Amino acid sequence: MVRFNLEFKKLKLFFAALFSASILTACGGSLSQLPVAKIEQPGWEYAVDLQEFESKYNDGTFFSDTLRRDTFAAYQDFLDKYITFRLKVKDAQDRGFGQDPSLLQELKDYRAQLAEPYLMERAVMEKNLRDLYDKQQEEINASHILALVSSAADPADTLRAYQKIMEARKLILAGAPFDSVALAFSEDPSVRQNKGNLGYFSGGMMVYQFEDAAYGGKVGELVGPFRTRYGYHIVKIYDRRPKTQPIRASHIMVALPKSPTPSDTLKAYRKAESILRRIQKGEDFQSIAKKESDDKLSGARGGDLGLFGLNRMVKPFETAAFALKQAGDLSPIIRTPFGYHIILLTGREEPKSYDESKELLKRLLSRNSEKLKHERDLFIQQLKETYHFKENESALPMLTAKIDSNSTFAQLDDLDDATLGTVFFTFAEKQTRTLADLIDFMKRFGGKNSLLTADAIHQYAKQYVDETLKSYEIDHLEARYADFTQLMEDYRDGVLLFKVSDETVWSQAAATDSAGRAYYATHKGDFRLGERMKVSEIVVSEKSLADDIYNELTQNIRQRDVVSAQDVKIQKRKIQAQLRKLKKRRDKKSQLKFQKLQEQLTGLQVDDQPRSFEALAARYSETADSLGSAESAIFNRGENRRVDKLFGKPVGFVAAPESINERYRIMRLDIMLPPTEKTYEEARTEIFSILQEQNTRALETEWVNRLRAKSKITVFEDNLKQAFKEDK
């Protein structure tokens, strides 16, 4: 079973590699078709070309430089393993595994799970990820004017906003200064502070319509009007430049009050001057920041602000920070609305490749629901064009004419056959959907008594069209996307390999108890227990209690539950007084109480001496999250970090309390156990692992030798030497 799990993990990694390799093959350019190996059996031949070799070899490595640096011997070794893989898959097919109902169902389930995410990745995500990456490589400095109008505004409000933005555009084109027009026309709340100027921005920082318009413009150009969810915009492009990489910086701040007096300002500036001189003389920046900075959050980190890009800090701070060139450069004293700052540049982020940025780009794009909806709508439109979608424009009016404001889903059951049989749309030449198909779709969403409006029918109709086209595309992925076909073939091969390996090797390799005992009899000396110790533990929740227990064990100082001679004397007097009163009573209840008090009196004794580890554990130790009430456990050296600290200590040594998971633990070294041979039961797991490994290796070797013996294998080494060369 151990071997089975190990091989299953290997296969999962192999499937992941196959998935990555197939995607890379699709994304890469045209690769050489030179054969690097040919496998021949009677009635069957398989050629491995350079493209297939490279796509399988890279196992998800996106950096071709790394692959090119690998040795020819590494290429040969991988090719040999890949030939073995192909032989095993062929053996699985010859033995009928490819027709196994469970395998066919697994492939079907895998395709169902993979198909839609794959389609959305290819059709929607990929081109937009690349577009977003390209936009992030360039920054634009622009100003804009906004005429507010919501997406749901009525036509009159929409027209008002459009006319306003067109009037502003006309003035600018006539020569009026953009900032003056912005102040007069823009309804962006920030216009009073920035006069419409947005500073530099890059991909992912604005709504997608704004970014598309800005990145489509040239320097000096007035772009628009265009509409976003906020309203109508016009944009003036001032500059385009390569992206400014994020920097890492630290600062020391001398704060100013909200309404500083000249005296406040002078005092703060002189303090900043004094700090700057100390740094320039060589005093440590981080140490000063921790003691002097009024920004307590960053000050606790030595002034570190982490990585930040443009438009993340107030402008004076940003300008000064990004003006620093090299790590270690120090700014002059900078004033912002918060006070005075001294900035130290500590690093600059290197540009990242598309592949390095891809996961971050995905997260960024996934959060942009408006952009994704727009792109999905574009995708559906592309499918309509691809499959020659044609809607019967009279179909929906025919359906909506049969309902009124009181209609429910139940009325859909009363529609006549002529209406139900009306063609709603056609696509892909012979594909037809009727109103009956639409109604069946609608019934999935509404109960019989649910209200049904004309608007709802139009919404359901759009959703039905979209899902029908998308489902058709998913059903025909293999015909449209060669790399999806390869993905499915790779997965099928992987499952075939798993099943044939299980039957031929793994299920046959299990060790038996008799074989295990025989192996143990001749290899006893190989299985030994090293130096061990027996440890007991007390676990409590309070630090003060843990400290008191430790002191009692190590210093004979008892501070808990002490019963002194004076305590006994006082308690005896109280009990004796009660006994005298009860002695005169004859009722049964009084007599029982009298008897109990006598027992208490007899048991009273002084208890002020230090207690044993066992007594303390029984009194105070919690059983939860512990080894038990002073119950011991045996540990090997290296098995437990805390226990390892006791090795080398004398028997009886008590370790100081240690806080772990909100509990305080006190350990005692009970006894040292010398190295000894393991019993068969103790060694059984190791023995079975060894035997399974031996059996697996032998079965694997026999299987591969048999497959290779009936095959003619030719390797074209000259062609293999062309692997990952740029000039092929």
Q: Domain locations in the chain?
A: 1-94+505-522+676-728, 138-242, 247-348, 531-553+608-674, 563-606
pLDDT of residue 582: 80
- Using alpha carbons, select from 604, 620, 608 the residue that is nearest to residue 558: 608
pLDDT of residue 60: 46
* 197-211 mean pLDDT: 93
pLDDT tens readout for residues 312-328: 899 899 999 999 999 99
Is a pLDDT exceeding 90 seen at residue 329? Answer: yes
Is a pLDDT exceeding 80 seen at residue 151? Answer: yes
pLDDT grade for 59, boundaries at 50, 70 and 90: low
CA–CA dist 149, 156 (Å, integer): 10
Sheet holding 658-660, edge to edge: 633-636, 532-540, 663-673, 658-660
* 491-511 mean pLDDT: 96
Alpha-helical segments (H) within 1-97:
2-27, 50-57, 64-69, 72-94
pLDDT of residue 636: 87
Residue 302 phi, psi dihedral angles, 5° rounding: 75, 20
pLDDT of residue 596: 86
pLDDT tens readout for residues 68-114: 678 999 999 999 999 999 999 999 999 999 999 999 999 999 999 99
Q: How far is CA 166 from CA 91, 145, 236, 237, 699, in A?
A: 73, 11, 14, 18, 80
pLDDT of residue 631: 67
Alpha-helical segments (H) within 293-368:
296-299, 315-323, 354-366
- The DSSP symbol for 351 reads P
Residues pairing with 248 in the sheet: 307, 347
Mean pLDDT of the chain: 90
Strands annotated E in 414-479: 423-427, 431-434
pLDDT tens readout for residues 640-680: 888 999 999 999 999 999 998 888 999 999 999 999 999 99
- The DSSP symbol for 245 reads P
pLDDT of residue 7: 40
Q: Is 503 helix (H, G, I), strand (E, B) or coil?
A: helix
Question: What's the chain's length in residues?
Answer: 728
CA–CA dist 184, 195 (Å, integer): 10
Is a pLDDT exceeding 50 seen at residue 27? Answer: no
CB 687, CB 511: distance < 8 Å: yes
Start-to-end CA span in the chain (Å) = 46
Residues pairing with 487 in the sheet: none
Say how many CA atoms lie within 13 Å of 492 toward its Cβ.
18
Lowest-confidence pick of 62-71, 476-485, 533-542, 657-666: 62-71
pLDDT tens readout for residues 572-590: 888 888 888 887 787 888 8
Which amino acid would we find at residue 676? T
The percent of the chain in helix, strand and coil, each rounded to the nearest 5, is 55, 15, 30
Sheet holding 35-41, edge to edge: 44-49, 35-41, 712-715
pLDDT, greater one: 236 or 312: 236
CA–CA dist 129, 145 (Å, integer): 28
* 252-279 mean pLDDT: 96
* 442-469 mean pLDDT: 93
pLDDT of residue 6: 39
CB 445, CB 457: distance < 8 Å: no
CA–CA dist 630, 3 (Å, integer): 39
Lowest-confidence pick of 93-102, 194-203, 239-248, 637-646: 637-646
CA–CA dist 148, 406 (Å, integer): 37
pLDDT grade for 728, boundaries at 50, 70 and 90: low
Say how many CA atoms lie within 13 Å of 509 toward its Cβ.
28
Burial of 105 (0-12, 13-18, 19+ CB in 10 A): exposed
CB 559, CB 548: distance < 8 Å: yes
Residue 404 phi, psi dihedral angles, 5° rounding: -135, -170
Structure tokens at 276: 């700057």
Lowest-confidence pick of 333-347, 375-389, 523-537, 603-617: 603-617
pLDDT grade for 308, boundaries at 50, 70 and 90: very high
Structure tokens at 434: 């009727």
- The DSSP symbol for 507 reads G
- Using alpha carbons, select from 727, 726, 728 the residue that is nearest to residue 65: 726
pLDDT grade for 363, boundaries at 50, 70 and 90: very high
Structure tokens at 671: 């006894």
CB 293, CB 252: distance < 8 Å: yes
* 117-132 mean pLDDT: 93
pLDDT of residue 697: 97
Structure tokens at 67: 């692959």
CB 303, CB 344: distance < 8 Å: yes
Is a pLDDT exceeding 60 seen at residue 28? Answer: no
Please, which residues have CB within 8 angstroms of residue 145's CB and are 6 or more apart in sequence? Answer: 165, 168, 178, 181, 182, 185, 186, 188, 196, 233, 234
Q: How far is CA 620 from CA 168, 540, 617, 625, 669, in A?
A: 81, 7, 5, 14, 19
pLDDT grade for 571, boundaries at 50, 70 and 90: confident
CA–CA dist 198, 146 (Å, integer): 12
pLDDT of residue 67: 58
Residue 279 phi, psi dihedral angles, 5° rounding: -65, -45
CA–CA dist 294, 688 (Å, integer): 65
* 30-41 mean pLDDT: 85
Q: What is the CATH number of domain 531-553+608-674?
A: 3.10.50.40
* 407-426 mean pLDDT: 94
pLDDT of residue 599: 82
- The DSSP symbol for 426 reads E
Domain 138-242 has CATH 3.40.50.2000: no
Fold held by 247-348: Chitinase A; domain 3 (3.10.50)
Residues pairing with 529 in the sheet: 676
Lowest-confidence pick of 127-136, 176-185, 549-558, 583-592: 583-592
